[in-house]
Amino acid sequence: MQSRWNDAEADRYREQFRAAGERLALRIYTSHLIGGDPDLVLHGGGNTSVKATARDLLGREIEVLHVKGSGADLGDLGPDGLPAVRLEPLRELRALTALTDEAMVSAVRAALLDSSARNPSVETLLHAFLPHVFVDHTHADAILALTDQPDGEALAREVFGEQVAILPWIMPGFPLAQAVAAAFEAAPDCRGIVLQKHGLFTFGDDARTSYERTIELVDLAERFCARRIGGRPAMLVGEPAPLPSAERRALLTRALPALRGAVAVAAETALGQRWRRVVCDARSTDDLAAFSAHGAAPALCAKGPITPDHVIRTKGSYLFVPRAEAARLDLCQRAVAGFAAGYERYYERAARRTGLPMIAPQPVVAVVEGAGLVAFGSTPKAARIAADIAEHTLRVKAAAHALGDYQPLDELELAEMEYWPLERRKLGTAATPPLLGQVAFVTGAAGAIGCGIVEALLAHGACVFATDLDGERLAVAAERAGGGDRLVTATGDLTDPARVAGLFDECTLAFGGVDCVVPNAGIAHVQQLAEMDPERFRAVLEVNTTATMLVLREAARVLRAQGTGGSVVLQASKNVFAPGAAFGAYSASKAAALQLARVAALEFAEFGVRVNAVNADAVFGDEQVPSQLWQEVGPGRMQARGLDAAGLQRFYRERSLLGVRVLPRHVGEAVAFFAAGLTPTTGAVLPVDGGLPEAFPR
């Protein structure tokens, strides 16, 4: 490991955070250096601090400690991520022989300079009790591989000699703060403190010294491990060989829906059974696939985490799924049930004594033999965090296995950490939107209605896989919709059966499967029947009807594989019920598509899927994302009625019973209603047209 300190970059931070003072500016800089290296910390792990001075309300200069806020991420924190606490009141706590967690949190919050600031780290007292200006704490992979061993202390001493003090695992909080301070006082010349099965603390009187001590000590551990192992662990280099890359992808496209369905939880509510679904993050790099194919993988997956800090994100152990079982829903359900039963036993043995209710017992990470790992979360971010941690965990477990005998923290101490209220507080609380955990597959997403559907589904918490033939328009619509990591786009010709299957596979690999399918793509052609061009008629049928059939066929494949029901919401048209002259191709194709949806309602009910349709009319969109249909048929309609564009929109608005403008988002909200499954409805058509009596569904 090499230092990434750069004098010019340090000067840039001094300038950028000049108002905060040089010490805090450099504390932010080295925090970013540490947080940007996943071999040191991951997703809110670790903490840093700096001691400085500030003025109180009376103008007096006082010593303060800027320490990482609980749950903040070292990789992107700013001054507000390092709340300031008065140092002297915290140092006085050193005289105590015991301090409850509640009293500790109260004392630390009472010392905040700004009472509205976020909670300081649970290790604030540790930073306060050490005399150094800068203190860094990491969960370095190499340190964990070294100390997650039966003889971890002896190995650490072999690597570091007297450069570090070595402590056994101690629960964070007041006891750890006391122990670290005492360890430094007993060895004042040490350059760091190793806490077994947890990580490394370094310190110094300037930012660079503290940071580079971390780098130097971790580098020593990395070099020792590499020498002792003889390179990379065999588990990570294909011994035995994992599946080839293409076969891994093919296995995951089959396995993810089954795993996702098995991990989902059905709950009874006042409105009937509802599913708590998850999205997936699948990783299939060569080394992860090699680990998953190794004979030692099942036993290592069953063992606890490399550092107990990870337990709140991934649980202690991972589910191991044999290749032959990975694509079978019944076998995945059996495996998940077995994992859950094992977790319940662990809770009874180790965690019930905490007095807290059991956390959901389903796995958060699964390792699929020969393919890699899969992490589950209610959002892509949650799944990604778990997958990042799991990826590093498997690599560290492989290294520790090669070093000797991987031995994590015992389960009693692990449960204390997993159910520790101060640790769980890091997860925060979040709203639960109605479509949280759902994955929607939307076609025709580049048009006005498609964009409105995507926006509504995202607003209600869903992940969306949006597809269209026109990549440029799709990019504009996607930028408009936003969605961040909950929106994935892809182009494709829906009249090509292979491409439709490929799009569903891409959706599966992106999110784990699909729950709501919205066949929305459509084209129009205006021509009297007496003059109809057969090729144009056939082209409209191909897009509006045949492509709908292909989408329904692939939807059935994935939805059935998951076993958690779902919804299909077809975009119908007013022309199904009230066709217009010269609109024969469009009206006939849409009527056929609606008939396919009604047949799907009959057939898909077998596996719990509700199939409904939205009947929209006169949805023009706007300049940024216009309706492609109205771009094609609008000029003719304007000419026939002697209207300009604004007049045409006014005409369609005023002809409805409600006299309102129908927006793309209105259609999207109708789709979201069906996706939420709030009513036991299937085979229905919901008009979103302002009220057109001639088009009332009948």
Query: Do 332 and 256 contact (CB within 8 A), yes or no?
Result: no
Query: How far apart (Å, rounded) are the C-alpha atoms in residues 161 and 339?
Result: 42
| Cβ atoms within 10 Å, residue 564 | 24
Cβ proximity of 563 and 261 under 8 Å: yes
| Residue among 318, 347, 419, 586 flagged as catalytic | 586
Q: What does DSSP assign to residue 19?
A: G
The answer to whether 610 and 565 have CB atoms below 8 angstroms apart is: yes
With beta carbons less than 8 A apart as the criterion, state whether 266 and 437 touch: no
Q: Are 535 and 485 in contact (CB under 8 A)?
A: no
Q: For residue 50, what are its two tokens?
A: 């700096």
Please tell me whether residue 90 adopts helix, strand or coil conformation.
helix
Q: What does the block give as tokens for 542? A: 């191909």
Within 10 A of 83 (CB to CB), how many other CB atoms are there? Answer: 27
Q: What is the DSSP string of 421-473?
A: HHHHGGG------TTTT-EEEESSTTSHHHHHHHHHHHHTT-EEEEEES-HHH
User: CA nearest 169: which of 57, 334, 306?
Assistant: 306
What's the CA gap between 569 and 571, in Å, rounded?
7
User: CA 312 to CA 322: how far, in whole Å?
Assistant: 26
What CA–CA distances, in Å, run from 485 to 290, 383, 478, 482, 587? 28, 11, 12, 9, 37
Q: Is 419 a catalytic residue?
A: no
> Any idea how long the chain is?
698
Torsion of CA 68, 69, 73, 74, to 10 degrees: -10
User: Per the structure block, which two tokens stand in for 563?
Assistant: 């076993």
On whether the CB atoms of residues 113 and 85 are closer than 8 A, the answer is yes
Hunting for tokens 């990491």 — which residue is that? 138
- Strand segments, DSSP code E, in 476-547 are 487-491, 516-518
C-alpha distances in Å from residue 635, one per residue of 525, 631, 632: 13, 7, 7
Structural contact between residues 382 and 280, judged by C-beta atoms closer than 8 angstroms: no
Please give the sequence-ordered ranges of beta strands (E in DSSP) within 621-661, or none if there are none. Answer: none
Rg (CA), the chain: 30
Write the CB contacts of 654 (distance below 8 Å, at least 6 apart in sequence): none
Active-site residues: which are they?
586
